[in-house]
Structure formats: C-alpha cells, structure tokens
Homo-oligomer: A and B are copies of this chain.
Amino acid sequence: MTHYMKAKIAVAAFIILTTLALPTQAQDAASQNKAYTGAQASDKTYKVIYQLDSGSPDVINKAIRNIGNLLNDPRLSGKLKVELVAFSGGTEAFRKGSEYEQGIKGLLERGVRIVQCLNTLKERKIEKSELYDFLAYTPSGNGELVIRAEEGWTIIKP
C-alpha cells in the first residue's frame, strides 16, 4: 500500500511538472499514459481458459508462469476460476515424468482445472496411461475453447 501511495505521489508530481512545462501534444499523450495504473477488477468472478497448443518448452513454461502470475494478481484474489486445456503439441506438458509435472500439479492444487483434448490422443496415438492420472478429458480442445468462450470465459493463449 505504501508502495502504491508513493507511486501515486510520483505520478501526480510528474503530471504537475509536465503541465507547468506547457506540454506539447506528445507530452500530453505521455503523461496521460503514465498516469494509468492498470484496470480495476469490479466484478465478482473472472473465468479464464488457457489454450496450450504448443510443445515448445518456452511456451509451456510461459503458460505455467502466466497462470501463476494471474492467480497472484492482487486485483483478482479470490475471484478467479481457471481452466488449462492442452491439445496438439501442448499435450507434451501432461506427460508422466516430464519436466512440467511439478508445475502442472502445483496449478491443480491451486484449483486450476487441467484438461486434455481427446482428438489429439487419437491423432498422435498417445495412450491415457502415458499422461498424468488426474487429467480431465474433453472431446476436442477447440470445442472446449468455443463453448467456454460462449459461457463468458476469457481465452488466453500464452
């Protein structure tokens, strides 16, 4: 909070100083931009579905980190419902013994629903026994995204 107050005083000082200096239009744009401190969460619930469709370690690690950061965002504390759906290459994140196991289990324990596309298993000839035992399955990852979006969920693709 103290940190926020300091930030607000700094922003106010910045606005006063730039105003005194008779700002050009560009300075106006800059000072208006600088004064913004992020959107405010006024709703009760925020539902988010993460799309994981790449087997790239960068993307999988980003997805795990992104969801963690979302769950830690003070604006959304206690307001989130999160689902992670993997399909295509993203299924690599759900392999037993993979480097992602701890990260994915950490999300599960924080209440994130962890869902795998059944189409991908058919296309890539992957057995359920190769994947974590706790997974949920959905007929298609794309169908899951579309139905969730229609229900008001936000899709994020890391």
Q: Which residues of A contact B (CB under 8 A)?
A: 25-26, 29-31, 33-41, 43, 46, 48, 51, 53, 62, 65-67, 69-70, 72-76, 80, 88, 105, 108-109, 111, 113-115, 117, 119, 123, 133-151, 154-158
Tell me whether A39 and B144 are in contact in the complex, defined as CB-CB below 8 angstroms, given that A134-B33, A154-B149, A156-B155 are known contacts.
yes
5 A-B pairs (CB sep. < 8 Å): A26-B105, A37-B137, A39-B148, A146-B154, A146-B156
A4 to nearest B CB, angstroms?
10
CB of B76 within 8 A of CB of A46, answer no
Contact of A38 among B25, B34, B139, B156 (CB under 8 A): B139
Chain B residue at minimum C-beta to C-beta distance from A80: B146
Complex Cα gap A88–B63 (Å): 11
Stoichiometry (number of copies): 3
Tell me whether A108 and B138 are in contact in the complex, defined as CB-CB below 8 angstroms, given that A46-B146, A143-B70, A156-B145 are known contacts.
no
Closest 5 CB pairs of A and B: A38-B138, A73-B143, A30-B134, A36-B136, A149-B154
Contact of A154 among B105, B140, B155 (CB under 8 A): B155
Complex Cα gap A117–B114 (Å): 26
Q: Which residues of the partner chain B approach A144 to less than 8 Å between Cβ atoms?
A: 38-39
